Amino acid sequence: MNAGKYLTVGIAGHVDHGKTTLVRHLAGVDTDRMKEEKRRGLSMESGVAPLLLPSGARIGLIDVPGHTDFMKNTLRGLSAVDAAVLIVAADDGVMPQTREHLWLLRYLGVRSGFIVLSKVDLVDRETAEFASLEIQELVEGTFLEGSPILPFSGFDGGGLAEIVAALETLAERTRPEKGTGLPFRLFIDQIRIFKGFGTVVSGTVLSGSVRKGDRVALLPAGDVLRVRSIETHHDAVEAAGAGFRVGMSLQGGFSKGISRGMVLAEPGSLSGATMLNVELHIIPGAPQALKTGMRVRVCLGTALTGALAVVIGGEEIPPGEKGLAQLRLADPLGALPRDRFVILPMNVHRILGGGRVLETTGVKFRRVHGDRLVPILRALQSGDTGRTISAVLSAHPERILAPGDLAPLTGISRATIEGELEKGVSEGLLVRISEGRYGSAAHAARVKDSLPGIVESALGNGIVKECETAASIASLLGRSVDPVLLERLLGELVREGRLAAGKRGFATPAFLQRQAALREIVGREVMAVLEECGIVPATLHGILDRFRGVRNQDEILAVLGFLVRQGDVVPLSNERYLSARALDRIKERVRERIEAHGSMTPRDCGDVLGYGRMIGLPILEYLDSVGFTVREGNERFLKG
């Protein structure tokens, strides 16, 4: 029934309580391989042993050190387990590392397991019963409350059948929480170099899957490597998914070397985090509270680094209490939201607390930003994707949301986020800006309602401006608005008649009406000046001088440009202007001259137009440019 099921089970407990002995009886493997471990009679590194259950379920047993001096190796060993077996020796009962390992398992999010009461062959029945009562009291309120306490003798293997049966039940009921809908990620916990075969790393696949031949990124170094081969417990496989413990042979260059605690991930899916905003619980009985400015060690996955702690929303987190904090890391970590972690005091091999990452960030927390940040962190604590999206948009209304951005923020699969965003669109809370990009509907509505007033104000009451471009409108908004969203909103306003669109930009209907009325008035005044000049071109200086103190100079220039575009005014090359009717009279005179004499030269301007060649020559050049005449040498002829 369990064929194909794979589970990683941590074997935890105080030093010398029989963890390694139990693993040896179950799997036939001695996980204490180092000479120093055998000499001292205790585990110093985490050992791994494969176990195939009668049902076909496969178990990876992780035997971790029980001595406090090797706490960091214990943390690394238990960082990716799906379930746990807590071992307590009947002759010792509950010991310091029994309590500490239980807290460690809780901080790492383990939710299923059972208890083994070891060394029962060394005590009488009454002592064993007393130890069981002590264990029951210890596990009250934890994931092990109500779990069976199975007696075991490492001397003759007594109780082994019951433990195997309990592992079968565990495999049947436990559903690993590792993400199948997220990109591939694995924390490295072992590194070996084989001559002629290259670098082999081991770890548990936290999310996604990896195939032979895939390219993977090594973080935080940034190297991209190729997976040459994959093994699970010495069996070569083509691929491995979330939850599987694997060994992978890697090909490629290592720019900064490779070490335990580094992360392998799908290229482009992850970057090294320098700061973590976290939910943090301080262990009851801790010698001190966590205060802002305290330096701690952070164990996340198999990585261990120093950090500066900053309490969010308070002064400190007392022992036994939970709070929010920012951990500013000494070294980047390949962390994601929802990752579990543990903190230790500096230079002390004891757990201070633990919790989970709410978000990775590159922004230092400041008290002044608390009102915006805390609601987002509370929403992330709740695990409610919709609430998180609402909190983000409440703090940053202008933000554009994309599943690819929100997945790393929330630790939720992209498909789930896409569904939540589409739900927001259907409920009118979000607007779909473009494929895979969403924004706040309320923010979009506020921006849209403000646009006509902004355009109206920018254009003013004169006729100098004709319109505002989308770029200039964006600069006047005073807030960040996505260019695609702005174009969409402007288009909607045009369709609704609240804005008018032209080739050069946007204006309001009211402005266009005022501008048309004013342009007509000023245009008549300018045309009157030109008509007064007759066929003598008016200079720009002369036109402006006529309106000095009466009209704005820029308005006159704007109206002249408009009249030229309308064809009512003709511009000459020497900043002189003629009315179109005056040009028609000039054309008639030039036609008569050429028909009578065969051609016309600049010297004839005085007889034909009444002024010399200095004024007349630009007119003749204009007639050439519009195809009325054609020049040959110094003479003009009628074209055609």
499 and 525 housed in the same domain: no
Instruction: Say if 499 falls within a structural domain.
Output: yes
Domain that holds residue 208: 185-265
Asked if residue 3 has pLDDT above 60, the reply is no
Is this structure's pTM higher than 0.75? no
CATH code (residue 450): 1.10.10
14 and 107 housed in the same domain: yes
| Structure confidence at residue 578 (pLDDT) | 94
Lowest mean pLDDT among 44-48, 351-355, 401-405, 599-603: 44-48
| Structure confidence at residue 178 (pLDDT) | 63
**Domain termination residue (choose one: 127, 146, 173):** 173
**Domain termination residue (choose one: 350, 372, 394):** 372
**81 Cβ partners below 8 Å, 6+ apart?**
8, 9, 10, 62, 105, 108, 110
Asked if residue 32 has pLDDT above 60, the reply is no
Tell me the pLDDT tens digit for each residue of 251-289: 887 877 888 889 999 998 888 889 999 999 999 988 889
Tokens of 15: 């030093």
How far apart CA 604 and CA 581 sit, in angstroms, is 22
534 and 478 housed in the same domain: no
63 and 149 housed in the same domain: yes
**Domain termination residue (choose one: 494, 509, 524):** 509
115 and 229 housed in the same domain: no
Residue 28 backbone zone (phi > 0: left; psi -120 to 50: alpha; other: beta) = left
Q: How many CB atoms lie within 10 A of CB 475?
A: 11
Lowest mean pLDDT among 156-170, 327-341, 366-380, 400-414: 400-414
Could you tell me which residues are beta bridge partners of residue 342?
299, 354
How far apart CA 315 and CA 45 sit, in angstroms, is 38
Instruction: Say if 411 falls within a structural domain.
Output: no
If you search the block for the tokens 């001559």, which residue do you land on?
Answer: 195
279 and 137 housed in the same domain: no
CATH code (residue 531): 1.10.10.10
Instruction: Say if 27 falls within a structural domain.
Output: yes
Tell me the pLDDT tens digit for each residue of 212-228: 999 999 988 888 999 99
Order of strands, edge to edge, in the sheet holding 569-571? Answer: 538-539, 576-579, 569-571
How far apart CA 251 and CA 235 sit, in angstroms, is 20
41 and 164 housed in the same domain: yes
523 and 565 housed in the same domain: yes
Query: What one-character-per-residue DSSP string does 520-585 give?
Result: HHHHHHHHHHHHHHTTSPEEHHHHHHHTTTTS-HHHHHHHHHHHHHHTSEEE-TTSEEEEHHHHHH
How far apart CA 220 and CA 574 sit, in angstroms, is 68
250 and 277 housed in the same domain: no
Lowest mean pLDDT among 24-38, 219-233, 271-285, 550-564: 24-38
Centroid of chain to Cα 321: 30
How far apart CA 640 and CA 632 sit, in angstroms, is 14
329 and 341 housed in the same domain: yes
Could you tell me which residues are beta bridge partners of residue 193?
199
| Structure confidence at residue 1 (pLDDT) | 41
CATH code (residue 191): 2.40.30.10
Mean pLDDT of 486-503: 91
CATH code (residue 40): 3.40.50.300
Count of domains observed in the chain: 5
491 and 578 housed in the same domain: no
Instruction: Say if 428 falls within a structural domain.
Output: no
Instruction: Say if 400 falls within a structural domain.
Output: no
How far apart CA 155 and CA 104 sit, in angstroms, is 29
Mean pLDDT score across all residues of the chain: 87
Mean pLDDT of 355-378: 85
Instruction: Say if 76 falls within a structural domain.
Output: yes
Are 112 and 170 contacting, i.e. CB atoms less than 8 angstroms apart? yes
553 and 449 housed in the same domain: no
Instruction: Say if 391 falls within a structural domain.
Output: no
Instruction: Say if 552 falls within a structural domain.
Output: yes
Mean pLDDT of 150-165: 92
The verdict on whether omega for the bond into residue 220 sits within 30 degrees of 0, i.e. cis, is: yes
How far apart CA 354 and CA 338 sit, in angstroms, is 12
Asked if residue 452 has pLDDT above 80, the reply is yes
Tell me the pLDDT tens digit for each residue of 519-553: 888 889 999 999 999 999 999 999 999 988 888 88
